[in-house]
Chains A and B, each alone.
Chain A
Amino acid sequence: MKNWWKIASVLLISYSIVWGFLGEVPRLPILNETIRNLYFHVVMWFAMLGMMIASLHGSLLYLSKNTRKYDLNAVQYAETGMVFATLGLLTGMVWANFTWGAPWTDDPKLNGTAITMIIYMAYFILRGSIEDPEKKARISAVYNIFAFVLMIVFIGILPRLTDSLHPGNGGNPGFNNYDMDSNLRMVFYPAVVGWIMMGVWVSRVKIRLKVIQDQIKSKQDEIYDSIK
């Protein structure tokens, strides 16, 4: 059963949808029932972080092993990470409009996220601007390491040094102040694991397609060479 993790992913996310709506949540003013967005909105960011770690892993392996496979992994996980980031941003804007009164505030976490997304967009632009595949893979792998470090600074460190509307920031050490009680954790963490596995699944499908594309291209090149 080598696809067990795909099944696990579906089960975990299904559980988070069912129990996310049915389970007990803390009764907090202003937030009211929207606290349940924790299971969806915040999870998108954790899934993005998971994808970016996988992408970094791909880049590091590429630099040490020089195999195209790892370059494909690095790009694809970064791409999926950007999808999660976009979903996180959009859902965050809906939630912020309700709780903070505006879809976009000067919150350091929001601005840090925006900068992070631009940094990763630059990664794709950089790749698109280099013709030679080896050079493309090598230079973008180095840039990707740099992008990851900046992401940690912009969304993990800087928002904690100043005041932020986000819980767990503004001098707070982090998760324990997240107003997370055991009811929330019981759904939140399984959802994070489920969505990360879902991200890996989707990414793997796209990576496999790219491998097939490569194979078709090299077969075509062989045919062209033989008729020349």
Chain B
Amino acid sequence: MTLSAQAQRPEVEMADTFRSEGKIYVVVAVALIIFLGMVVYLVSIDRKVKKLEEEQSN
């Protein structure tokens, strides 16, 4: 069976209700906050290393 034929089969259960209620945005927000929080942390480590590099070159 081709993909497009499968894609049109409505009987495959997906989280359609969950999505229509807008609850997926809650999941996206949480995942994004955690990821961006880790990035902020990584940036601060990166800066600290840069400071150390500058101290070393003096």
Measured CB to CB, the residues of A under 8 A from B are 10, 13-14, 17-18, 21-22, 26-29, 32-33, 179, 181, 201-202, 205, 208-209, 211-212, 215-216
Question: How distant is the Cα of A91 from the Cα of B42 in the complex, in angstroms?
Answer: 23
B27: chain A residues within 8 A (beta carbon):
21
Q: A10–B46 Cα gap in the complex (Å)?
A: 14
* A13 and B49 contact, CB distance less than 8 A: no
CB neighbours of A33 from chain B (8 A)? 14-15
Residue of A nearest to B55 (CB): A212
Q: How far is the CA of A212 from the CA of B7 in the complex (A)?
A: 54
Which listed residue, A21, A26, A32, A205, touches B28 by the CB 8 Å rule? A21
Across the interface, A27 reaches (CB within 8 A) one of B6, B31, B35, B56, namely B6
Query: How far does the alpha carbon of A22 sit from the alpha carbon of B31 in the complex, in Å?
Result: 12
Give the CA-CA distance A201 to B12 in the complex, in Å.
40
How many residues of chain B have a CB within 8 Å of chain A? 26
Q: Which of the residues A17, A27, A209 comes within 8 Å of B7, measured between beta carbons?
A: A27
What residues of B have a CB within 8 angstroms of the CB of A205 in the complex?
Answer: 42, 45-46, 49
B21 within 8 A of A: no
| Residue among B7, B10, B45 facing the most chain A CB atoms (10 A cut-off) | B7
- Residues of chain A within 8 A (CB-CB) of B53 are 208, 211-212
- Chain B positions 17 through 58: 1 when the CB is less than 8 Å from some CB of chain A, otherwise 0: 000000010011001100110010010011001001100100
Question: Given that A22-B24, A208-B53 are contacting pairs, would A201 and B32 also be in contact in the complex, using a CB cutoff of 8 Å?
Answer: no
Known contacts A14-B32, A181-B3, A181-B7; is A208 also within 8 Å of B42 by CB? no
The answer to whether B32 touches A18 (Cβ under 8 A) is yes
Tell me, in angstroms, the Cα distance from A32 to B12 when the chains sit together: 7
Closest residue of chain B to A211, judged by CB? B53
A179 touches B14 (CB 8 A): no
Shortest CB-to-CB span from A4 to chain B, Å, is 14
| Cβ-defined contact, B28 with A18, below 8 A | yes
- Contact indicator A32/B39 (Cβ below 8 Å): no
CB-based contact B39/A21 at 8 Å: no
Contact A13 B35 (CB under 8 A): yes
In the complex, how many angstroms separate the beta carbon of B45 from the nearest chain A beta carbon? 6
Alpha-carbon gap, A209 to B47, bound state (A): 12
Instruction: Enumerate 18 A-B pairs (CB-CB under 8 Å) in ascending A order.
Output: A10-B36, A14-B32, A17-B32, A17-B35, A21-B27, A21-B28, A26-B6, A27-B6, A27-B9, A27-B10, A32-B12, A32-B15, A181-B3, A181-B7, A201-B46, A208-B49, A212-B52, A212-B56
